[in-house]
Structure 1
Amino acid sequence: MITRPRSKRSGVLDQLRAEGVGLWLDDYHRGRLADGSLERLVADGLVGGVISRPAAVARAMADTSAYQDQLSRLPGAAAAEERVYALLAEDARAACTALEPVFRETKGMHGWVSLGIAPRLAANAQAMADHSRRLAEMVDRPNVLIRIPVVDRGLAAAGDVLAHGVGVHVTSVYSVQRYAQAVDVYFRGLERAAADGHAVSAAASLVSLDIGHLNARTDALLDGSADPRAAALRGQAGVAVARLVYRRYEESLGCPHWRYLVADGARPQRLLWTSENAPESPRAALNRVERLIAWMTLHAIPQQALEALELREGFHGDTLSGEHGAACRVLDAYGWAGIVLDSLAHELETAAIERERAAWDELLAATQAE
């Protein structure tokens, strides 16, 4: 038997796995299926989950013919939003199938697919919950997560969706306070699911922190600061908030509330670091990975970054655990510079939903143009 030499990329992946870190594909669309790249990424162990974003799908519709056949079969009189849901659901079904072996082998810890609902619903919790459940039914796979932003009534909707036994990906979190609310929603949603006879193991959850936009916004504010200490704070906000959030994550898994739920079959709510709806260079994405490493966490990065792993010399172990004190000092320094990160979170949440609306509008237009 011929033994293939291990690539440098394999060694880097082993390092990440040893630290309990998983990688997700952040720019998934149907073209990744047509060219076989998703299948290769899964087979090589590079990805354990994917995120379908409207912006990536719209780009694929413009650059490839992957969606033309399905669009030609959709009723011409169908509303644009219904056409989008049909496209996203078919994408998600195919990705769920590709990731099913991972989902099965890891007993549901990996192998998930995340897709979102129309952002116009953000102020209406009931509408968000209804659309989320309907989209999950359209996909009809056990390893699907419906993406819901924290802005406006998002957390209320997330709780209702979880209570119906449907997995939820909570997005656009920028503060420890918001993360703590997401944890509470998960716990209460699981309790409601169990009370209604749903298996709590089916109602998985993921919370993503948008590190890219948090750093970009704070760095822009630092550029206008007269404080001589401002330059040293550039690029530090994301790591500081991630460290405090990770500590809160560890605390949540040690509380009696969680011990009761896990005994009933619940899975831990995972943390994912990302840069939502923002083109990110492979170098920037992998630098983010290097700075945010801790057990049971995930990174969503674009395909080019996954393929560029072999260019890295390696990673240097856990960067988040036990760093609460250092993170608090960084946040204090931001306060001295006139930047209070908790106060900035609401502004960032609003900007995130506006970016999502713009991407969704682009996708709506693309489906009508075909």
Structure 2
Amino acid sequence: MSDRLKTLADAGVSIWLDDLSRERIETGNLADLVRERSVVGVTTNPTIFAGAIADGERYDAQVRDLVAGGSGVDEVIFALTTDDVRNACDVLAPVAAAHPADGRVSIEVEPTLANDTEATIASAKALWAAVDRPNALIKIPATLEGLPAITAAIAAGISVNVTLIFSVERYRAVMDAYLSGLEQAQEAGVDLSTIQSVASFFVSRVDTEIDARLEKIGTDEALALRGKAAVANARLAYAAFEEVLGSARWQALAGTGANPQRPLWASTGVKNPAYPDTLYVTDLVVADTVNTMPEKTLLAFADHGDVTGDQVTGRAADAQAVFDQLAAAGIDLDDVFVVLETEGVDKFKASWTELVATVRTQMDKAKG
């Protein structure tokens, strides 16, 4: 057991791995990470699946069978990915039994549907039914069109990982969508205690975008703000989360067994080599949150990460001061978040295109 990761977990941070492959499942690597590295959840995306399917031969037999049965590329992708998520859910089932908020495995609705509410709802329901495990999470993007889809999925009793959140303003809308879904579920007689949700607030991409703008401005004041925006943004998001938890609306739902929608720090791999490689873990330690990490970040923290207490609670004023300084330096924060969401959706769609191309290649091989 990694002492550093255990200390992080003991501080109330749920450690999730941002990676999955059939090899991890079948070799016991995922189970080892749960046992030895304090991993209590998994997130996936199409790029992760594309890499897994392209490497090795563990998918070949299933691809051959599906091709022989006349399946098209979308059907093959659906079968391969839902099988992996179902099997990963089974690996993590003991974790979920002990701590129902964890032991979760996320699978994403088709990214090309990010701006189509009804198609996103249909995709979420199809994935939920196919995986057929109570500890699954269906990832729905926090686009304007995604918000009503989040509400509808929660209302149907589907546990949701809301992804692609960049701004606190959009995060507030996500929390409202979650509460609305719970209220509708309650009216429909759904047991609210069976519904779990996380809100994935993206971190490193905020620094990448804002740092580039600060460097373009080039003043001493601007350059001194590099590397501060992402953590400040996340701390402001947590303050918004605390505000909602203190509301009468939430308290009424909690009284009937509803679970809070925990903040999840996503995109926590550090992209700027000038920054500490555990920055977005160490500086965002706070109880009742999730940090989903690429394996590289997980291993870095296991080797040299530090936990020095709660780094988030009570720091909203300092975080707002950073944002005030960014605005004063000439950063258009509203534009930053529009650009990040637009690029985020485009990257999601590109990752789907990559997955489709990868699976088509495997299908062609299966056809001989």
Select 1:203's aligned residue among 195, 204, 207.
Answer: 195
Tell me whether 158-167 or 227-236 shows the greater mean CA deviation: 227-236
Which runs of structure 2 are paired with 1:23-102 in the superposition (5 Å)?
A: 23-76=15-68, 77-102=70-95
Residue identity in the other structure for 1:117:
V
Any conservation in 1 of the 2:155–2:185 contact (CA below 8 Å)? yes
Query: 2:117 aligned with 1:117, yes or no?
Result: no
Query: 2:205 aligned with 1:213, yes or no?
Result: yes
Distance in 2 separating the partners of 1:276 and 1:87: 27
**2:118 alignment counterpart:** 126
Distance in 1 separating the partners of 2:233 and 2:324: 12
**1:184 alignment counterpart:** 176
Structure 1 vs Structure 2: percent identity of aligned residues?
36
Query: 2:305 aligned with 1:347, yes or no?
Result: no
TM-superposed CA distance for 1:153, in Å, is 0.5
Any conservation in 1 of the 2:277–2:300 contact (CA below 8 Å)? no
TM-superposed CA distance for 1:89, in Å, is 0.5
TM-score by length of 2: 0.93
**1:247 alignment counterpart:** 239
Residue identity in the other structure for 1:308:
A
Distance 1:89 1:203, change over 3 A: same
Distance in 2 separating the partners of 1:308 and 1:213: 19
Any conservation in 1 of the 2:167–2:233 contact (CA below 8 Å)? yes
Residue identity in the other structure for 1:24:
W
TM-score by length of 1: 0.93
Residue identity in the other structure for 2:82:
A
Which runs of structure 2 are paired with 1:165-184 in the superposition (5 Å)?
A: 165-184=157-176
Distance in 2 separating the partners of 1:308 and 1:223: 28
Across the aligned residues of Structure 1 and Structure 2, the Cα RMSD in angstroms comes to 1.9
Deviation string 1:60-90 (CA, Å, 9 cap, x unpaired) is 2222112112111214532322211111110
Distance in 2 separating the partners of 1:348 and 1:284: 23
TM-superposed CA distance for 1:278, in Å, is 9.2
TM-superposed CA distance for 1:183, in Å, is 0.6
Distance 1:368 1:233, change over 3 A: same
Distance in 1 separating the partners of 2:232 and 2:123: 35
**1:308 alignment counterpart:** 300
**1:359 alignment counterpart:** 351
**1:336 alignment counterpart:** 328
Give the secondary-structure state (helix, strand or coil) at the position aligned to 2:309.
coil
Deviation string 1:88-124 (CA, Å, 9 cap, x unpaired) is 1101101100110000001x12111111011111121
Any conservation in 2 of the 1:211–1:273 contact (CA below 8 Å)? yes
Ranges of 4+ aligned residues in structure 1 off by more than 4 Å:
276-281
Distance in 2 separating the partners of 1:36 and 1:158: 33
Any conservation in 1 of the 2:12–2:288 contact (CA below 8 Å)? yes
Q: How many residues align?
A: 360
**1:3 alignment counterpart:** none
**2:220 alignment counterpart:** 228
Any conservation in 2 of the 1:252–1:258 contact (CA below 8 Å)? yes
Structure 2: unaligned runs, 5 residues or longer:
363-368
Distance in 2 separating the partners of 1:147 and 1:30: 20
Query: 2:266 aligned with 1:274, yes or no?
Result: yes
Tell me whether 31-40 or 134-143 shows the greater mean CA deviation: 31-40
Any conservation in 2 of the 1:162–1:190 contact (CA below 8 Å)? yes
Tell me whether 50-59 or 71-80 shows the greater mean CA deviation: 71-80
